[in-house]
Structure 1
Amino acid sequence: MPYFRAFWFLSLSCFAQYSIQRTVSPIHIDGKLDEPAWRDARSMGDFTFNWYQSGEKEQTVAKMLWDDENLYVSWYVRDKHISAYEKRRHGPVSKDDCVEIFVAPNPAKAGNYYTWEINAIGTMLNRNKADWYTGGATWEPDGVEYRATFHGAAKKDDAPEDDHWIVEMKVPFRNFARDAAHTPPLAGDEWSLNVNRIGGKTNAQLSSWSPIRPPLKGFHSPEAFGRVVFADPPVAAGARRGGQRIRFNAADARAGHAIYNRSCTMCHGLDGAPGDRAPALGAQRRYLRATSEELFDAIKNGIRGTAMPASPLPETDVRKIVAYVHSLRATAVDLDVPGNPANGQEVFLSKAKCAQCHMLNGRGGILGPDLSNIGAERSLAAIRDALTVPKPVPPRGFQPVKVTTAAGRSFEGIVKNQHNTSFQILGLDNKLHLLTAAQIKDIQFQPKSLMPASFDKSLTPVELQDLLAYLSRQARSRR
């Protein structure tokens, strides 16, 4: 039967993208944002004033973090006229100075989204737009903590000293269990969302992180949600110390692997996996030691108050185990990957044709993931596998399709978003086709990813190694 017809085309470049860094240090929800993790987290970037008419454009600095239990969101709101009066739970807070986040944990069903709307005095409104939700106009999320600068005040009037206000929030991942592929997310999982600012008695603001283009008319437009990816390398922790990479000797790491398997697997699992009585050593969790000195001390002297005993191994063996633990946690940028990066860049641009689909440092295509930070987000093994190992199914957000519209036009692309009444399909022409579900003739979902996985055959061994050397060095913030 007829299914849908394209009714407008947009470049995907108008949709925002962001990598959410993992935090392994505690976040205290107090509305101050003074923890090192917030300081080191990347901003989501400038907001867009979608319906601007007049007045000063006051920017909002939004950031996000995550750990094994929670999603963290912060807004630093520049505002010379702060006003808020709504005190009722689920009241119309958008009439006040207000910030919002709308989260769709499954990009393929962006119409299933959840909202948090908070004004400057800490009043919150929540809605659940999921197709399974039958609880009415509002929703009570579980375990959310948040704090605003003027939290609990009876009201907030404009004042000459007004400059900014802050909202900090923690949302347990269990709130998204009905729609998310994984809770907590796995590193590399993608969600759709938008972060907004609205309202104010004087110089009212209407801005959003991901732009909302005509004919869309409001913030409740999941078609315009941007994409976020949960990144594994942690902020202010892990193998990072003072912004520097921790070096380790590859030969020591190999020797440490053997020593570890002989000496540590009574409690820890084989090859760094979780054991019956001790955690995985390759995970990025807040309780793990980060530096070589911390790891050496934990192994050699034990950890007081825990079942971790002191080791009788000689210091040279302990240091080799430390090198092995670093290797488990390393991403590609932490390694001195052999090869010629300059030649690898040429392979990337020419023979491998990677730039046709992938953006790197602002240049390239948009069909595939942005690779500007790939060296800090993926291990060397994961990058090599992406180039050489076929995937059994296309990854989420990159499902290839062939579409025929009722008007007889055919094109190919990948599904970026899908819900009951519309599809977003990014065509091979790098244009986003926003299509109504009532007007398509046929859509065929293809079984294979568009990403080639045979570069070990199409490239020479030297070319492949040079490409790996080049990709491993792509990191916005070197660890």
Structure 2
Amino acid sequence: MLETLPFAPQRVVCYRTASPLVIDGRLDEPAWRATAWSEPFVDIDGVQQPRLATRVKMLWDDRFFYVAAELEEPDVWATLTERDAVIFQDNDFEVFIDPQGDTHAYYELEVNALGTVWDLMLIRPYRDGGPAIHAWDIAGIQAAVQVRGTLNRPGDRDEGWTVEIAMPWSILREAAPGRRPPRDREQWRVNFSRVQWALDVRDGAYVKRRDSPTGKPLPEDNWVWSPQGAINMHMPERWGFVQFSDATAGTKVTPFAEDRNERVKWALRRLYYRQREFNARHGRYAADLAALGAAGIEVEDLEFRPALEVTGSMYEMSAPGFDGATVHIRQDSLVWVTRR
């Protein structure tokens, strides 16, 4: 059940770099050295533990959002060289960004150990009809990889690979609040994922390990920064929070500021999950919150008092939030806040 994993997304403060970074995959600039690594990635389900370590860090300036990742990998392997190929068919590193935090109009980026990029925009999550816009590009993106070992050479043991990415705000602002880069203390929803295939060596080359009865490749592993609670990266409500700070990396510590209305969003999201289940069973949406068990959902430090409006094929649920806010959610997953 999608509600099983407690709502506890990762949170991080992203600091500024005092000077532009050289995107070469080496991560040796002073700004990177002054920036802490994340905790190691966890399995996408939030329960299992990955067999290989992955960690990430972030910086920003007036032109770019910078992301760096370090991936432990004894057998560095990649095959795809064409931009916008389906990169997760290789082992890869992935970035997901929802600037508005409303689960609509978000970005996905994938990079393999050859530095090949696939970027796309989702109008809505796939569960809500998408679509994915594959023609969308992060124009001006820079991505570089350094392999600590050898690429595509079985028989030795590699240490892994690092990837360094610079994504220009001139593109990322397209779906951002006010169509602009973030400001000091603003928060975007972000997550990072790693796809890892089990490999064998055949005729001196790496190949995906296959299931004996079916002959199909074994399912890939998915390791993430902020756990999803399901094998599905396209649940932006589970992504982490990145808070941007005007402080330069290494000069001061900016505290992360929780938005308590995220608690109300999650309570409404639980009702959204239940509406989907109700619709799947009955072919319609519940018109009564009691049918969704709303009385059993609580919000810390607030009385949760949701309201529901239903038409034949749509609904909107809302609830009073903190500090004069009202939080809303509708059947296509969109969540938003109004204030009186």
TM-score higher than 0.5 here?
A: yes
Q: Give secondary structure in 2 for the equivalent of 1:170.
A: strand
Quick one: structure 1 residues 430 and 16, their matched pair in 2 at CA, closer, same or farther if it must change by over 3 Å? farther
**Contact 2:50–2:223 under 8 Å retained in 1:** no
Structure 1 vs Structure 2 CA RMSD: 4.2
Which amino acid in structure 2 is aligned with residue 172 of structure 1?
A: P
Q: How many Å separate the matches in 1 of 2:267 and 2:241?
A: 23
Query: Per-residue deviation at 1:123?
Result: 0.9
Q: How many Å separate the matches in 2 of 1:165 and 1:113?
A: 27
Aligned to 1:192: 189
Q: Deviations over 1:200-259 (max 9, x none)?
A: 45296420000011xx332222132111111222114xxx3xxxx8xxxxxxxxxxxxxx
Aligned to 1:206: 222
2:23 is the counterpart of 1:45: no
Larger radius of gyration: 1
2:165 is the counterpart of 1:169: yes
Query: Per-residue deviation at 1:118?
Result: 0.3
Which amino acid in structure 1 is aligned with residue 109 of structure 2?
A: W
Q: Give secondary structure in 1 for the equivalent of 2:88.
A: helix
Q: How many Å separate the matches in 2 of 1:430 and 1:33?
A: 47
Q: Give secondary structure in 1 for the equivalent of 2:3.
A: strand
Q: Give secondary structure in 1 for the equivalent of 2:33.
A: helix
Q: Deviations over 1:61-99 (max 9, x none)?
A: 200001112100001111111111111211122122210
Q: Which has the higher helix share?
A: 1
2:127 is the counterpart of 1:111: no
Query: Per-residue deviation at 1:161?
Result: 3.5
Q: How many Å separate the matches in 2 of 1:226 and 1:430?
A: 25
Query: Per-residue deviation at 1:430?
Result: 11
**Contact 2:73–2:159 under 8 Å retained in 1:** yes
2:245 is the counterpart of 1:231: yes
Give the TM-score normalised by the residue count of structure 1. Answer: 0.49
Aligned to 1:120: 113
Q: How many Å separate the matches in 1 of 2:231 and 2:2?
A: 16
Indicate the larger mover: 196-205 or 15-24: 196-205
Q: Give secondary structure in 1 for the equivalent of 2:177.
A: coil
Aligned to 1:443: 318
Q: Give secondary structure in 2 for the equivalent of 1:73.
A: strand
Quick one: structure 1 residues 205 and 159, their matched pair in 2 at CA, closer, same or farther if it must change by over 3 Å? farther
**Contact 2:7–2:238 under 8 Å retained in 1:** no
Which amino acid in structure 1 is aligned with residue 25 of structure 2?
A: G
**Contact 1:398–1:449 under 8 Å retained in 2:** no
Identity of aligned residues (%): 23
Residue of 3, 17, 40 corresponding to 1:8 = 3
Query: Per-residue deviation at 1:44?
Result: 2.1
Q: Give secondary structure in 1 for the equivalent of 2:75.
A: coil
Quick one: structure 1 residues 395 and 10, their matched pair in 2 at CA, closer, same or farther if it must change by over 3 Å? closer
How many correspondences in the alignment? 275
Q: Which has the higher strand share?
A: 2
2:288 is the counterpart of 1:406: yes
Give the TM-score normalised by the residue count of structure 2. Answer: 0.67
Q: Give secondary structure in 2 for the equivalent of 1:12.
A: coil
Aligned to 2:69: 75
Residue of 358, 369, 386 corresponding to 2:257 = 369
**Contact 1:84–1:200 under 8 Å retained in 2:** no
Q: How many Å separate the matches in 2 of 1:200 and 1:398?
A: 36
Q: Give secondary structure in 2 for the equivalent of 1:174.
A: helix
Structure 1 residues without counterparts, runs of 5 or longer = 1-5, 246-330, 334-359, 361-367, 371-393, 414-424, 451-479
